[in-house]
Chains A and B, each alone.
Chain A
């Protein structure tokens, strides 16, 4: 277990910078998720931490040691790869005990550690099988077993669930989180799936184009995104954005008026952000929305609507029986709305 620090970490391939000075502080035992769209540099950051990529500038510190120039084996980390990277010619037990064997551990010690890890992961009956004889979820567990037998300072996960089907992904998500709660080892987890990020992380780092957009707890990012990118990326279905301008205490778009969360100079072009679940059916709400599609889910009703010609998506706890073309009157919870600068995308606070 160890704290990890990235300070001004940069990476370029030739003249092309891909990571532009990243600073992250990860506390001992924390579960941190790096999330962002493809090509945002999240896997590169993880591989730099693992020692599989060189660092162009800045420092990576694991447990008070600068590891920039250390080989992976000297960093005391364990990594779970996207395609598991199990050695196909070895049994499950050999795969899990490989690094211990290589470090000169005794046979009894290897067996003890492998049995312990297999017990935690429910792999006891598969130890003599080859990876090829296992299902995707079992292979994933073996990959995790290979990581935990070493009792490393830091666990690294590189999109470990993306090869699994949706159902198994939910199960494994729970297992990884439970494992972390049991072992309390510092964990850094890379994913492009914001649901994984939200459900697993103590702290999320949102990356875009090799830069950090925001760092915070899942609910902090959800409730207080610093910009439109984070607002759009975190949350599913994603936040609605409506373009318009400010007039007094209201946001105006076309002939519709919505209550603005902050007072701003009149006429300023802004983007209004509201999450689908923050709309409510309210005859006194004063927001007219024309129904486009109604999708009853049973527990909730999802409605695609248009406000002043702009598509918005709403989720209602009630059953909505409106037909396409009908007009609903909505209200919004003002405390949960945001205004973003139309140019920079930054969230605007009270002037």
Chain B
């Protein structure tokens, strides 16, 4: 912030920013603190911002009530495969659309983009029938195949294409003169320079897969196959009432990998920007 503000104004501006911060920070704070409260304290009035009693057994119970470690692993490996697959396909497809002259390239790209306009709720029933025919219901295949070849990948392809279009052509021409073929140019020149775009694609693809809810509840039926968002809804007592503190403990654990991925990919994102921002 520029320091031409008077001290009084500064205090006012920072104060305002702190107030605006509350709606963003409070839900997370409430989730984390409630996960270590006894269930009776969660709805106490007046609400306890800082817990007065701690009960860490909720974290243990999350693993006892369900195969939570298995579900954690399910979500993690599915998101990892989806992210890697999407990065690979979208980078190659985006590069092809940006750089290779082939017949009807633009028309084909438009057709591809139409995929973004169809809501997943519309395609879920036909997809169910297709995967039923392939004997893939209650397996993780639909959760991998649908995003990698569906709308998220289309969006990723769009992002990558726009990035490669903006990459100076001379870099590739220099590489051609240096003796590289098309694939090597893609692999050793274009892809390393695409780190910012790849970082962005990685963040949103991972998040999309990690948070996927509709597809798991349609395609999966046994708890050991569940992914985390689906598993979170299953922490209920014998009467179907939510076990809030355990559920929030599970939710807290669910949020951690997202934060980790964000921190890693964000650094790539910024580093990549720093490289390509300097005109070659």
Contact = CB atoms under 8 A, between A and B. Distances in A.
Interface of A: 50-52, 71-73, 77-79, 81-89, 98-99, 102-103, 130-132, 139, 146
Contacts of B279: 83
Nearest to B170: A85
A103 B171 contact: no
Given A50-B177, A52-B176, A83-B280, 14 more contacts: A73-B178, A73-B179, A79-B173, A81-B173, A85-B173, A87-B171, A87-B189, A87-B280, A88-B193, A88-B280, A102-B178, A103-B179, A131-B280, A139-B280
A88 B179 CA distance: 18
B168 interface: yes
B214 interface: no
5 contacts: A72-B177, A78-B177, A81-B174, A83-B280, A85-B170
B257 interface: no
A84 B192 CA distance: 18
Contacts of A78: 177
A99 B179 contact: yes
A229 B193 CA distance: 45
A82 B169 CA distance: 12
A132 B280 CA distance: 7
Nearest 4 CB-CB pairings of A with B: A132-B278, A73-B179, A85-B170, A99-B178
Interface in B142-172: 168, 170-171
Contact of B170 (A72, A77, A81, A99): A81
A74 to B, nearest CB: 9
- The main secondary structure of chain B at its interface with chain A is helix
- The CB with the most chain A CB atoms within 10 A, among B171, B179, B193, B280, is that of B280
Given A79-B174, A83-B168, A88 B276 contact: yes
A209 to B, nearest CB: 25
- B contact residues, range: 20 to 34
B178 A52 contact: no
Contacts of B275: 88-89, 130, 132
A151 to B, nearest CB: 14
A83 B170 contact: yes
Contacts of A132: 275, 278, 280
A85 B278 contact: no
Contact of A102 (B170, B173, B179, B278): B179
B180 interface: yes
B167 to A, nearest CB: 10
Contacts of B189: 87
Interface string B246-280: 00000000000000000000000000000110111
A102 to B, nearest CB: 5
A234 to B, nearest CB: 29
A72 B176 contact: yes
Contacts of B193: 88-89
B278 A52 contact: no
Nearest to A143: B174
A86 B168 CA distance: 10
B124 to A, nearest CB: 42
A73 B180 contact: yes
A86 B177 contact: no
